[in-house]
Amino acid sequence: MAEQTPHIADRFERRGILFIVSSPSGAGKSTIARKLLEAEPELEMSVSATTRDPRPGEVDGKDYHFVSLDRFREIVAANDFLEWAHVFGHRYGTPKAPVDQALSEGRDVLFDIDWQGAQQLYQQAGGDVVRIFIFPPSMSELERRLRARRTDSDEVIAGRMARAAGEISHWDGYDYVLVNDDVEACFNHVRTILHAERLKRSRQTRLIGFVRSLIKGG
């Protein structure tokens, strides 16, 4: 049997991807993010810093880096966040150092952030960023999903619905948009996008050397 030629993704080292998945609360991004992390060993979740208190079961350094407001302000002043924002009365930010290290080592980093964070991250990291926005099938279905959780009051749900309308209005700031009317199908689309983005010429390091050797007959 003839030996198979290695796939280009296996032949060359590559630079990692900052892979953003955004959606209104309840549209399914958390489920899709979990499925991606289970299916893709080269993908890791970005761990944000936050000023909010830990929830039951959350672990510092794994779920979030829990910091005081003063410490958060110090990190902002030092320009050590890739992006940060106020969300529901608390502050969240992405530390630069671990993300830079992952990129240089060819590992992909998954971000569950809103449109403001996506915009800031793109301004900071441009070509390393891939942005996906997930729509709910309808606003009525989004509200149904939020109520089905049975974790929020009517007031909180109303706030999330109002915020959802604002988030959806920024859909055109993303590279890809999907409708999550079937979570498995939506997940498969997101995973296909990840695989395709890994193959982009701009992310294949040492490609120039390989091409030069081909031209020289190597």
pTM comes to 0.83
DSSP structure string for 12-59: S-B---EEEEE--TTSSHHHHHHHHHHH-TTEEE---EESSPPPTT--
* 65, two tokens: 């880096």
Which pair of tokens denotes residue 160?
Answer: 């999330």
Amino acid, single-letter form, for residue 65: H
Find residue 81's DSSP bridge partners: 95
Confidence of residue 2 (pLDDT cuts 50, 70, 90): very low
Strands 43-45 vs 49-50: parallel, antiparallel or unpaired: unpaired
Give tens-digit pLDDT for 134-146. 999 999 999 898 8
Phi, psi of 102 (to 5 degrees): -60, -45
Could you read off the pLDDT of 82-132 as tens digits, one per residue? Answer: 999 887 789 999 999 999 999 989 899 999 888 988 998 999 888 899 999
Least confident of 3-12, 56-65, 112-121: 3-12
Which H or E run contains 163?
A: helix 154-168
Residue 3 has pLDDT above 60, yes or no: no
Q: Which domains does the chain have, with CATH numbers?
A: 12-46+106-215 (3.40.50.300)
Confidence of residue 10 (pLDDT cuts 50, 70, 90): low
In this predicted model, what pLDDT tens digit does every residue of 18-39 receive, in sequence order?
999 999 988 989 899 999 999 9
Token readout for 7 is: 């796939």
Task: Give the H/E segment covering residue 111.
Answer: strand 108-111
Q: Is the CB of residue 62 less than 8 Å from the CB of residue 44?
A: no
Does position 209 have pLDDT exceeding 90, yes or no?
Answer: no
pLDDT confidence of residue 1: 44
Contact criterion met (CB below 8 Å) for 135 and 27? yes
pLDDT at 218: 60
Cα–chain-centroid distance for residue 216? 41
